[in-house]
Structure 1
Amino acid sequence: MIAWLGEEGWQAVLLSLKVSFWATLISLPFAIAIALVLSRKEFSGKQLVNGIVHLPLILPPVVTGYVLLMVFGRRAPIGSFLEDTFGLVLAFRWTGAAVAAAVMAFPLMVRAIRLAIDAVDPGLEDAASTLGAPRWRVFSTVTLPLITPGILTGAVLGFAKAMGEFGATITFVSAIPGRTQTLPSAIYGFLQVPGGETQALRLVIVSVAVAMAALLLSELISRRVARRIAGQ
């Protein structure tokens, strides 16, 4: 496998898997919280919050990457604070690629999870509350099991989006081989050099295979969870 992809291509595949995993893990708790608020709460400015959440889907990815660079760059206020306080550097590091991928994947995750929450009858939650269950227990014992398939769908969509993220990532962290060069940027890089089409095609095949495997796994898990909820 390493010989077929080449060292640079193999490094890009491993880095993309690493970045996508952490991007999904970072985004998922916040996506569940935001989806719950947007689905169950009414407040002034709700549409504004909803618009901000979905803004990365509308803006050119390069713009999102530039904003991240201005916010989390080493000379930016937040970026310099993170470096001085925690020793955490995001710009031009794989950690920054994970943050960029998380930002781009976040709207898709929120949307999938919110649709799942909207499908849950609020009367079930109200009934649990009237029996004296605290809010956190209602969520963990009633809402969460029912929206688990939606959470899994959102996680897979987020992972797939993170795997394919290019514009924001290359703007924020560049495409340094072995450090920040993810699968899409490696494909783009091979297409820019004479004779690199074959290597690019191999990486495209790997990208499609990983995406299909993730979708199939999500479908299997969702069906199993749905059967367990139905008591089968």
Structure 2
Amino acid sequence: MHGRDYPRLFVLFLPLALVFTAFFLVPMARVAVVGATGEDGLAAYLSILTTPRHFESMVATVVLSVGVTATALAVSTVAGLFLVRNRFPGRSLLVSLLTFPLAFPGVVIGFLVILLAGRQGLIGSVSDLLIGDRIVFAYSMAGLFVGYLYFSIPRVILTVMATAEKIDPALEEAARSLGAPGWRVVKDVLLPALKPGFVASGAICFATAMGAFGTAFTLATNIDVLPMTIYTEFTLNANIAGAASLSIVLGLITWAALFVARSLSGTTVAVSG
């Protein structure tokens, strides 16, 4: 690199540096400072461990996010492989329908869950006819799980399909020609080849579920996840420092998941939505 190239590189880098500073560094620094200015000082960052409600909320959020991620990966892998390996009339329409939930905000998804499993929902109406009792779970962690899974599957299935399209079918044929049973082909050929897609889409799914707010807000009757806890501390308890410290902790947990995913996959993993 010649010395005359530095001014040009500086001009190209300057907009990125300004945007990164204005929209990431400064807000994050401000939130971090606010989190330590409450009556508890820096100890506010330990409230996630010392305050039972905060700790239970964190555990519930992590468990929910892990469950959604695992389920989305399982469903999307089967569906993605089927769609990649098979061509049939209406395939493009089916793929479009499977990815359509990406167009919905969290509030709309929460409303759809209410229509499905709310007090006047479809499941409740059917169960009332069959067993004389309405099954209602929209306003619980089960309802939130369904909502998160609804918007997670499209994110995962697109990544899995993109990864599956790069797999050379000759590898599977070679394994079968050597006498490998079907489960060994899946275990030794398909799953290792799909690993980068699993890691990347799993990280996206986990991070999105950790920070999703709109769906939880719509269904929040018996739900206590970390985004809702932050909202409650800020709006109902006027605990701005506590909300800020919990926000930083939530961000760190999500960042750690993305960092681990990037280390495992060796590629850049980003969050969308």
Task: Tell me which moved more, 87-96 or 141-150.
Answer: 87-96
1:74-113 correspondence runs (5 A): 74-79=119-124, 89-113=136-160
Q: Report if aligned partners of 1:109, 1:154 keep a CA contact under 8 Å in 2.
A: yes
1:140 CA drift (Å): 3.0
1:187 match: 230
1:149 match: 196
1:63 match: 108
1:167 match: 214
Matched, 1:122 2:169: yes
1:229 match: none
TM-score normalised per structure 2: 0.70
Q: For the residues of structure 2 that align with 1:61 and 1:29, how far apart are their CA atoms?
A: 22
Q: Report if aligned partners of 2:123, 2:135 keep a CA contact under 8 Å in 1.
A: no
1:188-203 correspondence runs (5 A): 188-193=231-236, 195-203=238-246
Supply the AA of the counterpart residue of 1:195: A
1:12 CA drift (Å): 2.3
Q: For the residues of structure 2 that align with 1:28 and 1:78, how far apart are their CA atoms?
A: 25
Q: For the residues of structure 2 that align with 1:137 and 1:3, how far apart are their CA atoms?
A: 44
1:54 CA drift (Å): 1.3
Identity %: 29
Q: For the residues of structure 1 that align with 2:157 and 2:262, how far apart are their CA atoms?
A: 19
Q: For the residues of structure 1 that align with 2:87 and 2:184, how far apart are their CA atoms?
A: 21
Q: SS of the counterpart of 1:123?
A: helix
1:80 CA drift (Å): 5.7
Q: For the residues of structure 2 that align with 1:209 and 1:79, how far apart are their CA atoms?
A: 39
> What CA RMSD, in Å, does the superposition of the two structures yield over aligned residues?
2.8
1:230 match: none
Alpha-carbon distance change, 124 to 82 in structure 1, aligned in 2, over 3 angstroms: farther
1:58 CA drift (Å): 0.7
Q: For the residues of structure 1 that align with 2:91 and 2:187, how far apart are their CA atoms?
A: 24
2:31 match: none
Q: For the residues of structure 2 that align with 1:7 and 1:48, how far apart are their CA atoms?
A: 48
1:54 match: 99
1:170 CA drift (Å): 2.3
Q: Report if aligned partners of 1:35, 1:113 keep a CA contact under 8 Å in 2.
A: yes
> Could you list the per-position Cα deviations for residues 157-200 of structure 1 after superposition, in whole angstroms to 9, with x for gaps in the alignment?
111111111212322x31x4xx4121222222333246322111
2:83 match: 38
Q: Which runs of 5+ in 2 are unaligned?
A: 1-45, 267-273
2:257 match: 214
Q: For the residues of structure 2 that align with 1:123 and 1:47, how far apart are their CA atoms?
A: 25
| Count of residues paired in the alignment | 219
Alpha-carbon distance change, 132 to 79 in structure 1, aligned in 2, over 3 angstroms: farther
Alpha-carbon distance change, 4 to 145 in structure 1, aligned in 2, over 3 angstroms: closer
Q: For the residues of structure 1 that align with 2:92 and 2:182, how far apart are their CA atoms?
A: 25
> Could you list the per-position Cα deviations for residues 97-152 of structure 1 after superposition, in whole angstroms to 9, with x for gaps in the alignment?
22211222211111222221122122323444555656554333322211112112
Q: Report if aligned partners of 1:5, 1:199 keep a CA contact under 8 Å in 2.
A: no
Q: Report if aligned partners of 1:5, 1:203 keep a CA contact under 8 Å in 2.
A: no
Higher Cα Rg, which structure: 2
Q: For the residues of structure 1 that align with 2:211 and 2:73, how far apart are their CA atoms?
A: 18
- Of 72, 75, 92 in structure 2, the residue corresponding to residue 27 of structure 1 is 72
TM-score normalised per structure 1: 0.81
1:35 CA drift (Å): 1.4
